A = this chain, B = another copy of it.
């Protein structure tokens, strides 16, 4: 069976990486079973064999693949017969970078302290130190502007909201990797934070609900917050 190193919190069943969620959804999309091995930020040694220090790391027989984008490409080419992730749509790469450089940063501002609080003790010190260095201030100060960040995020969601008001999925009539990429960001928040970032009457909330329920409720049944 395919194995994947998957970022975990203090509770090993709290799996929260947006990059890992992309791949878990992509695997389910392709009907592939996977054994997800819990991994913590400070367990760099455990994945040293992959030649780098981040998850997801996928092991499929003799193949080891890291980086979520490379893993998606690998799955698409190794499992051609299974439903396509529609990676041939060039625009998916734009969605990836939009998600990572626009959506992730503003979500992080709102949930960074709760991420910290949900990590194992060893990971907490690593996380606090590295993130406070990036932000240039204590995590408590970052989240003090949570409401302002939320207002900003709501504005940044405009193109996503408009798209989903015209078609069911970002990828069109059926979900594709672009949906899993953006969903990963919201699932990251939902797994680690009780702060409600989407209104229930927002079309983005309704789309996220579809994503949570698909593939037999894979993303809904994980440890997270009811937001």
Contact = CB atoms under 8 A, between A and B. Distances in A.
A91 interface: yes
A159 interface: yes
Contact of A90 (B97, B98, B101, B170): B170
A166 B96 CA distance: 12
Interface string A128-170: 0000000000000000000000000000001110110011011
Contacts of A173: 90
A97 B159 contact: yes
Interface in A154-194: 158-160, 162-163, 166-167, 169-173, 176, 178
A94 B158 contact: no
Contact of A92 (B91, B162, B176): B91
A37 to B, nearest CB: 30
B172 A94 contact: no
A196 interface: no
Contacts of A176: 90-91
Contacts of A90: 86, 89, 163, 167, 169-173, 176, 178
Copies of this chain in the oligomer: 2
Nearest to A88: B172
A23 to B, nearest CB: 19
Interface string A70-101: 00000000000000001011111111011001
A227 interface: no
A166 B89 contact: no
A170 to B, nearest CB: 6
Given A91-B170, A94-B178, 16 more contacts: A86-B90, A89-B171, A89-B172, A90-B170, A90-B171, A90-B172, A90-B173, A90-B176, A91-B92, A91-B178, A93-B162, A94-B95, A94-B98, A97-B160, A101-B159, A102-B158
Interface of A: 86, 88-95, 97-98, 101-102, 158-160, 162-163, 166-167, 169-173, 176, 178
Q: Which 10 A-B pairs have the closest CB atoms?
A: A90-B172, A91-B91, A89-B89, A97-B159, A97-B162, A98-B159, A90-B171, A94-B163, A93-B163, A101-B158
